[in-house]
Amino acid sequence: MSGINVDDLVRPDKVHSSIFTDPKIFELEMQRIFYRSWAYLAHDSEVPEVGDYVVRSIGRQSVIVTRSEAGEVHVLLNRCRHRGNAVCSLESGNSSFFRCPYHGWTYKNDGDLVGVPFPDAYGDSLDKRGLGLTPLPESDSYQGFIFGSLAPQPTGLSDYLGPAKEVIDIFVAASPTGKVELRAGCQRTVFHGNWKYVGMDGYHASFTHRSVYNLLKRKGLRAGRPKDASLPAKAVAYPNGHCRLIGGRNTANALEEYVRPQLETDEGKAYFALLEGKYGADEAFRVLVEARDPHIGIWPNLQIINSHVRVIRPLAADRTEVLLYPALLADTPPAINAERLRRHEWFYGPAGFGQPDDAEMFERNQQGLQCDLEPWLLLSRGLHREETLPDGTVVGDITDEVPQRSQMRVWAKAMAEADDR
């Protein structure tokens, strides 16, 4: 028993601030959210060759994603079956084997145990076939995004993602061959705040990022809501806690001020010709505009924002690591990918104009929540005007707290489920 009553913490229009500050609640989140849900791990393009591997984590548990000699992706716990040592200490590499540094047990990159030093000491009692690195109970991928789960899942990955799949489809459709590649490195930030603050907030931009807006204005560029009312700015909450922000510069303004000028260049023309050949001109335009900023969050730890893939890694109630992987488009003229990187850097880069502001707000939030005489936080913005569609998707204005309410509903349901479900 956890001793935590979730009904005391989440109401339809507010949440108790202890869900962001209480270490006991954080521990329960590990058990009931991160160790029970699908979680994003890596992308196919990070392990393209036989023997490639990356080490990732689900909560505090270390996981190896490897490509075996047979070319298949395996998702294995990074824990030796002898006495539990982490068998892989590098974050990525290429190897046919993982040798445990403690006593030398050796595993193939599909997890099979193939070597035990001085095996005579076990007599006939050691059956190597049952002592491979433990595969995760569930692993699957969608459009190259590899997910895993530490617990059996009631639904497959495809059902779990639901309508959010269409947004991932648009993101990869910007490549003429439908593939993105995470090979531009990784940018890591640790901030002193709770993991649930990250992303999916359409209310903060004009204030938290005011310096960027002022800069854009000085350059004669528009920011914020599109002027075209036929392209409304929306916040969308899909089933299972996935959320999306639609609007602002990723629609009308993006088309006028970024996409069209890019298509005037020689490489832009060549790129558009490839997309046009695949989709037709109208659909190619739609892909270009929408893929500029999918702005989707896949609960609990993946977000695809602008041109990067973002992973949220909770370390403690008041400490979170955020990893940003700029995504390049496969089979696309280099200038197009260079523009994606420059665009990423100027807002989201370590010295960018936007992302550091967000981390600053998250730390100040954690600081503010130390004052707990009035512990309830309001999430009622737009509650009276949000619309629920037949498939359960909820839609509101982009500045409404539709994503926050949706994620808290999913959070509360998961946190209330008993340990012996």
User: Binding residues for ligand FES, per CB under 6 A?
Assistant: 80, 82-85, 100, 102-105
Nearer to ligand FES, 116 or 410 (CB): 116
For the bound state, the minimum distance from the C-beta of residue 225 to Fe ion, rounded and expressed in Å, comes to 16
Nearer to ligand FES, 103 or 413 (CB): 103
Partner whose binding site includes residue 53, from ligand FES, Fe ion, none (CB under 5 to 8 Å by kind): none
Partner whose binding site includes residue 368, from ligand FES, Fe ion, none (CB under 5 to 8 Å by kind): none
For the bound state, the minimum distance from the C-beta of residue 89 to ligand FES, rounded and expressed in Å, comes to 12
For the bound state, the minimum distance from the C-beta of residue 101 to ligand FES, rounded and expressed in Å, comes to 8
Partner whose binding site includes residue 358, from ligand FES, Fe ion, none (CB under 5 to 8 Å by kind): Fe ion
Angle between helices 266-279 and 281-291 (to 10 degrees): 110
User: How many chain residues touch Fe ion (CB under 5 A)?
Assistant: 1
Nearer to Fe ion, 290 or 358 (CB): 358
Nearer to Fe ion, 59 or 248 (CB): 248
For the bound state, the minimum distance from the C-beta of residue 75 to ligand FES, rounded and expressed in Å, comes to 20
Nearer to ligand FES, 12 or 104 (CB): 104
Nearer to Fe ion, 16 or 295 (CB): 295
Nearer to ligand FES, 102 or 376 (CB): 102
Partner whose binding site includes residue 217, from Fe ion, ligand FES, none (CB under 5 to 8 Å by kind): none
Partner whose binding site includes residue 100, from Fe ion, ligand FES, none (CB under 5 to 8 Å by kind): ligand FES
For the bound state, the minimum distance from the C-beta of residue 84 to ligand FES, rounded and expressed in Å, comes to 6
CA–CA distance, 317 with 91 (Å, rounded to integer): 24
Partner whose binding site includes residue 9, from ligand FES, Fe ion, none (CB under 5 to 8 Å by kind): none
Whether a cis peptide bond, with omega within 30° of 0, leads into 326 is no
Partner whose binding site includes residue 82, from ligand FES, Fe ion, none (CB under 5 to 8 Å by kind): ligand FES
For the bound state, the minimum distance from the C-beta of residue 388 to ligand FES, rounded and expressed in Å, comes to 52
For the bound state, the minimum distance from the C-beta of residue 122 to ligand FES, rounded and expressed in Å, comes to 13
Q: For residue 77, give both structure tokens.
A: 């716990």
Of residues 316-375, which lie at the interface with Fe ion (CB under 5 A)? Answer: 358
CA–CA distance, 85 with 236 (Å, rounded to integer): 43
For the bound state, the minimum distance from the C-beta of residue 86 to ligand FES, rounded and expressed in Å, comes to 9
Applying CB under 5 A, which residues contact Fe ion?
Answer: 358
